[in-house]
Structure 1
Amino acid sequence: MLTDRYGLRHACDHPVAVAAFADATRAVAAHRPGAAPALEAALAADADLVAGRALEGFACLVLARAELVAPARAALGAARAALARKGGGSPDEAALVEALAIALDGRFRDAAARLEAAGAARDGLLLPLKLAQSLRFMAGDLPGMLAGATVALARWDAAAPGFGFALGCRAFALEEAGLLAQAEAVGRRAVAAEPADAWGLHAVAHVMETDGRVREGVAWIEAARPAWGGCNNFAFHIAWHLALLHLERGAHDAVLALYDREVRPCPSEDFRDMANAVSLLWRLRQEGVAVGDRWEELRGVARARRRDATLVFAALHTLLALLGAGDRAGARECLAALEDRAEGADEQARVLRHVGLELARALASDAPLPAARLVRIARRLPAIGGSHAQRDVFLRSLALRAAGTADRDGLDAVLETRHRLRRPDRFAAGLAACDRPEPALAT
């Protein structure tokens, strides 16, 4: 039995495999591109490294693509077989395998709880915490994110490896809970403890954007380029936050330059990359900014994924991409796929029935919608997952639809929902100053 430097116990007698797995863990926590080669090295040293097989499955699962479900299940099968060959493995390994099985059953919250239970049993387990937060984030479980990070850190030695990354998880959970001052303090502490913690850095950027501290936010992100510039595609997301700050300034040329250079520098099917690009172009569309042929590149990816309703958050951005590109036929197919998915029994099907399907129909419809329906959707939005900043593209759309009705109280209610998450901004001020949106504005 060997313990890696981030606390995970392996039923393994190959030090090279365990050290390489720890490298993979660090890359996952730091959002660095080295996770895949490190994991490959770990499995080359020990093909039955249980945690390695489980992490292979989670890597497929979090990409939320229909075609990756089979590889994720194959990884689960390999992890179970390895666990059996190692006499049941360690409790940490067993927890990873069990959590992967639960997640593949469509129960992300239960899977996260299993991972958190493993972390609660022993201090300082980094990988279960990071995976659990990812699953709760995708499931729209904001209270669970905060509770899980709080419990994990309660007994974490500040001198132990991974402490800064764990602080970053707590900082982000605090920000999503609306506890902005605490989130900023913990996020700054996370970055001080672990300069590679892009997640904690990102939590502070969230706070500044939410708080309307535009210049300070731009300075914070720009000063941290040496840290986040070496990230994997998470760098695109931090550049997206930078673009949002410039959008609040009304600096549309700067936003488009960032889009081309750093938000969407290359084609990608990753739903997180698509969400960055789609939501930024949609905001520009709402402000009447011409974006050239940029929608067309996104349309190609969206058409290929229009029937994939694996994750509601991802599918809603696929729908926006198709609508933004004027592909009404593709949008109808995407909506039909969501309607079919809503017939299921797992978490994502329930999210669709609760709010996702109603939101999708509102986005795709040109017909006037009752303000009461728009308000109901706005209040239920956290269930789709993602962050407050990511969901704001939908809140803006709902607010614009409400502004197009005669029900001023409805618009006020949507804006009030939005203001619980962020300080009133230039967009809200523009809506509040007029009875109806300017002609350039669109949903």
Structure 2
Amino acid sequence: MQRDAYELTTSTDKAESVRAFEDAVYGLATHRPNTGAALQATLRADPDHVAAHALKGFANLVLARSELSPNATAALADARKALAKRNGGTEDERILVHALEAAEAGSFVQAIDRLDAGFADKPATFLPFKLSHSLRFMLGDSDGMLAAGTRAVKHLSPSNPGAGFIFGCLAFSLEEKGRYDEALSAGYRAVDLQPDDSWGLHAVSHVFEMRGQTQDGIDWLESSRTEWTRCNNFSFHMAWHLALLHLERGDHDRVLQIYDDEVRPQQTDDFRDMANAVSLLWRLNQVGVHVGSRWKDLAEIARTRSRDTTLIFAALHNLTALIAVGDRDGASDLVDAIENKASGTGDQSRVAAEIGVPMARMLAGLGTPADRQVLDRMMINLPKVGGSNAQRDFFVLALAQAIGSNGDSAGVSHIGQLRRHLKVEDRLFRSIQETAVMSLSA
């Protein structure tokens, strides 16, 4: 047995494999583009590295693309075979595979439960902690993220190289609960302990954005450019935050420049990249900025996913891109797919029923008075769609815009009151309110 630097016990007897897997875990923590290569190196050195197969399976699942589901299934099969060859492996390995089984079957909730229970006596073991944090993020489980982060910090050993990354996750969890002073403290500590912790940098930028400290946020992101620009496509997301801060300042030319150079420098189809781009262009459109042909590539990608409801968060962003270019057929197909998803089983079917269907109908202009009557319930359930408060704010704004376009200024004001619990009022929401009042008087 081997206990790696991040305190995970594995059954490998290959030193080269141990080092390569530590590189892969570090890459996961830092959002580095070489993480996949490190995972491949691990399996070349030890084809039966159980944890590497498990991580590969999780990596395919969190990308939330229907065509990658077979890859996750294959990784699970490989992990099971590796366990058998290792006479059942270590307890840590068995827990990881057990959790992957639940996730591959469609239940991230059950996967999280298995990770939490399996590592209850050592919650600061970094890989399972990070995996559960990532799954909770996709489920919008801020309470769970905070509880797990708090437990992990209490059990940190001074020698744990994952300490900075764990504090970064705690900082993000605190920010999502509106505990901004504590989030800043944890975020600063994360970056002090581990300057490569882009998630900690990211958490601090969230605080500045939510508080309306626009210049502080810009300064923070610009001063840490050398760190976050080394990331994989997470750098696109960091740039998205920077663009939002400039949007609040009204510097639309700078926003478009950031969009072209840093938010959308490549026409990728990763759902996170799509979410960045779609939500930013939508905001620009709302304030009257002409974005040229920038919707075109987003709509082309969305058309290829007009039946993909693997992740409702992604499907709703794809729907927005189709609506933006007037693709009624594609939008109708995706609304139908979300409605069909709602009749199924599993985590995302529940999300589709509670959030996806009414939100999709509102975005597509198919909303009825009955849909608007469940507004409060939609706002309460909205975290279940996943992502961060900052990302979900797009849906809040889109709801307000859809309701306001019918002249329901009271409904928009009500959304504004609920929104203030998460974010200070900004110029975009005020613009939506003004438009609603104008629609009412027209």
The TM tier, using the shorter chain, reads over 0.9
Aligned match of 1:240: 240
Q: What are the Cα deviations for residues 368-423 of structure 1, in whole angstroms up to 9, with x where unaligned?
A: 64653334323321110011111111111111233344544322221111111101
How far is the alpha carbon of 1:113 from its aligned partner?
A: 2.1
Q: How do residues 142-181 of structure 1 correspond to structure 2 at under 5 angstroms?
A: 142-181=142-181
User: Residue type of the partner of 2:51?
Assistant: A
Aligned match of 2:351: 351
Contact 2:405 2:439 in 1 (8 A): no
Query: How many residue pairs end up in the alignment?
Result: 439
Distance verdict in 2 for CA 1:157–1:326, change over 3 Å: same
Alpha-carbon distance in structure 1 between the residues aligned to 2:69 and 2:54: 14
How far is the alpha carbon of 1:22 from its aligned partner?
A: 0.6
User: Residue type of the partner of 1:276?
Assistant: N
Aligned match of 1:186: 186
Aligned match of 2:403: 402
Alpha-carbon distance in structure 1 between the residues aligned to 2:401 and 2:293: 24
Distance verdict in 2 for CA 1:232–1:153, change over 3 Å: same
Aligned match of 1:210: 210
Answering whether residue 437 of structure 2 is matched by residue 436 of structure 1, we say yes
Distance verdict in 2 for CA 1:24–1:362, change over 3 Å: same
How far is the alpha carbon of 1:63 from its aligned partner?
A: 0.5
Alpha-carbon distance in structure 1 between the residues aligned to 2:313 and 2:357: 11
Distance verdict in 2 for CA 1:434–1:285, change over 3 Å: closer
Q: How do residues 83-98 of structure 1 correspond to structure 2 at under 5 angstroms?
A: 83-98=83-98
Aligned match of 2:365: 365
Contact 2:407 2:438 in 1 (8 A): no
User: Residue type of the partner of 2:27?
Assistant: A
Alpha-carbon distance in structure 1 between the residues aligned to 2:393 and 2:438: 17
Q: How do residues 315-354 of structure 1 correspond to structure 2 at under 5 angstroms?
A: 315-354=315-354
Alpha-carbon distance in structure 1 between the residues aligned to 2:414 and 2:157: 45
Aligned match of 1:314: 314
Q: What are the Cα deviations for residues 148-189 of structure 1, in whole angstroms up to 9, with x where unaligned?
A: 111122111244211000001111111111111111110111
Identity %: 49
Contact 2:407 2:439 in 1 (8 A): no
3-state secondary structure, aligned to 2:437: coil
Distance verdict in 2 for CA 1:305–1:180, change over 3 Å: same
Alpha-carbon distance in structure 1 between the residues aligned to 2:303 and 2:132: 31
Alpha-carbon distance in structure 1 between the residues aligned to 2:116 and 2:34: 25
Answering whether residue 104 of structure 2 is matched by residue 104 of structure 1, we say yes
Contact 2:123 2:129 in 1 (8 A): no
Answering whether residue 412 of structure 2 is matched by residue 411 of structure 1, we say yes
User: Residue type of the partner of 1:396?
Assistant: L
Distance verdict in 2 for CA 1:118–1:161, change over 3 Å: farther
Alpha-carbon distance in structure 2 between the residues aligned to 1:140 and 1:291: 31
User: Residue type of the partner of 2:208?
Assistant: M
Runs of 4+ more than 6 Å apart: none
How far is the alpha carbon of 1:288 from its aligned partner?
A: 1.5
Answering whether residue 130 of structure 2 is matched by residue 115 of structure 1, we say no
Answering whether residue 408 of structure 2 is matched by residue 383 of structure 1, we say no
User: Residue type of the partner of 1:388?
Assistant: N
Contact 1:54 1:76 in 2 (8 A): yes
User: Residue type of the partner of 2:307?
Assistant: R
Answering whether residue 421 of structure 2 is matched by residue 420 of structure 1, we say yes
How far is the alpha carbon of 1:38 from its aligned partner?
A: 0.7
Alpha-carbon distance in structure 2 between the residues aligned to 1:219 and 1:102: 42
Contact 2:404 2:439 in 1 (8 A): no
Answering whether residue 136 of structure 2 is matched by residue 136 of structure 1, we say yes
Aligned match of 1:292: 292
Q: What are the Cα deviations for residues 266-300 of structure 1, in whole angstroms up to 9, with x where unaligned?
A: 11010000000011001111112110000001111
User: Residue type of the partner of 2:115?
Assistant: L
How far is the alpha carbon of 1:341 from its aligned partner?
A: 1.1
Alpha-carbon distance in structure 1 between the residues aligned to 2:203 and 2:109: 22
Contact 2:389 2:422 in 1 (8 A): yes
User: Residue type of the partner of 2:120?
Assistant: A
Q: Which runs of 5+ in 2 are unaligned?
A: none
Contact 1:119 1:152 in 2 (8 A): no
Distance verdict in 2 for CA 1:229–1:438, change over 3 Å: farther
Aligned match of 1:49: 49
How far is the alpha carbon of 1:432 from its aligned partner?
A: 4.8
Alpha-carbon distance in structure 2 between the residues aligned to 1:239 and 1:228: 9
Alpha-carbon distance in structure 2 between the residues aligned to 1:408 and 1:294: 31
Q: Please report the RMSD computed on the Cα atoms of aligned residues, expressed in angstroms.
A: 1.6
How far is the alpha carbon of 1:123 from its aligned partner?
A: 5.5
User: Residue type of the partner of 1:206?
Assistant: H
TM-score scaled by length of structure 2: 0.96
Q: Which runs of 5+ in 1 are unaligned?
A: none
How far is the alpha carbon of 1:367 from its aligned partner?
A: 5.9
Q: What are the Cα deviations for residues 334-387 of structure 1, in whole angstroms up to 9, with x where unaligned?
A: 111111111111011011111211101110016664653334323321110011
Alpha-carbon distance in structure 2 between the residues aligned to 1:32 and 1:407: 46
User: Residue type of the partner of 1:389?
Assistant: A
3-state secondary structure, aligned to 1:120: coil
3-state secondary structure, aligned to 1:436: helix
